[in-house]
């Protein structure tokens, strides 16, 4: 455990301690001040009567050797082991079905379901509508015939202002983290933050709250489809 943390709720403290264990090491020497996030209203998703699940087992389960689901979310970065094959969650290729894999990691018991369960169904679309280019720049050409700017080889008036003259608008690491597990009232704080704030588990209460809302709501559908959830009844 790398640092002490104070939470008011005992349950949250226990969950946080377990998540910290799952998250691995960190370093506070480069800490940057960020305004603590305001308490947000929980995301409301219609759920079956009595559904009340604990999502901590989802965050602490292994998605790859030595890597928990929490490791994918905290800190919020795309991570590449250059000595392992490329493919989500080891990096993110253009062709990877990242949403179906992410949803499986967040909601299914990966000891009883493959992380590819939703890919294999498939749950969502599994490929781009047009092929990617095999060589640089890899992305597919633009659709339609949008008007492009005229050409000039040089003479552009780039700003020379230091980064401190700019104000943060957006940040992104892993797909769907900021959009799915961070609720609407935490969005600005989250996007003003950095991975160091993720590492301090500043957003953990919101992540837990949002995942629980989805797990409670979808528990009956998962059961009906015989899908084994990682969340456990409280």
Shortest CB 4 distance to other proteins, Å: 19
Handedness of CA 195, 200, 206, 210 (dihedral sign): positive
Q: Could you give the string, one character per residue 58-87, with x where binding to other proteins holds by CB under 8 A and - elsewhere?
A: -----------------xxxxxxxxx--xx
Confirm or reject binding of residue 50 to other proteins (CB under 8 A): no
Confirm or reject binding of residue 92 to other proteins (CB under 8 A): yes
Number of Cβ within a 10 Å radius of residue 216? 20
Q: Could you give the string, one character per residue 164-203, with x where binding to other proteins holds by CB under 8 A and - elsewhere?
A: -xxxxxxxxx-xx-xxx---x--xx-xx--xxx-xx----
CB within 8 A of 181, min separation 6: which ones? 73, 106, 206, 207, 210, 211
* Nearest to other proteins of 120, 234 (CB atom): 120
Q: Could you give the string, one character per residue 95-114, with x where binding to other proteins holds by CB under 8 A and - elsewhere?
A: --xxx---------------
In what helix (H) or strand (E) does residue 103 lie, and over which residues does it extend?
helix 98-107
The DSSP bridge partners found for residue 108 are 229
* Angstrom distance (rounded) from CA 206 to CA 42: 8
Confirm or reject binding of residue 231 to other proteins (CB under 8 A): no
């Amino acid at each position: 455990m790398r640092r002490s943390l104070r939470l008011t709720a005992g349950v949250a403290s226990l969950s946080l301690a377990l998540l910290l264990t799952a998250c691995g090491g960190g370093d506070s020497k480069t800490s940057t001040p960020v305004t603590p996030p305001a308490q947000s209203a929980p995301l409301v998703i219609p759920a079956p009567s009595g559904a009340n699940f604990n999502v901590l087992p989802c965050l602490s389960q292994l998605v790859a050797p030595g890597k928990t689901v929490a490791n994918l979310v905290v800190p919020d970065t795309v991570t590449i082991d250059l000595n392992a094959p490329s493919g989500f969650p080891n990096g993110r290729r253009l062709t990877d079905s990242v949403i179906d894999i992410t949803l499986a990691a967040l909601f299914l018991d990966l000891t009883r379901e493959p992380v590819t369960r939703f890919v294999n169904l498939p749950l969502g679309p599994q490929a781009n509508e047009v092929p990617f280019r095999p060589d640089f720049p890899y992305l597919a050409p633009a659709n339609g015939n949008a008007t492009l700017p005229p050409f000039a080889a040089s003479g552009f008036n780039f700003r020379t202002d230091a980064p401190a003259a700019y104000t943060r608008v957006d940040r992104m690491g892993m797909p769907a983290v900021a959009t799915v597990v961070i609720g609407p009232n935490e969005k600005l704080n989250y996007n003003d933050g950095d991975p160091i704030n993720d590492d301090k588990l500043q957003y953990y209460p919101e992540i837990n709250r949002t995942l629980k809302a989805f797990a409670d709501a979808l528990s009956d559908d998962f059961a009906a489809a015989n899908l084994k959830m990682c969340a456990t009844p409280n």
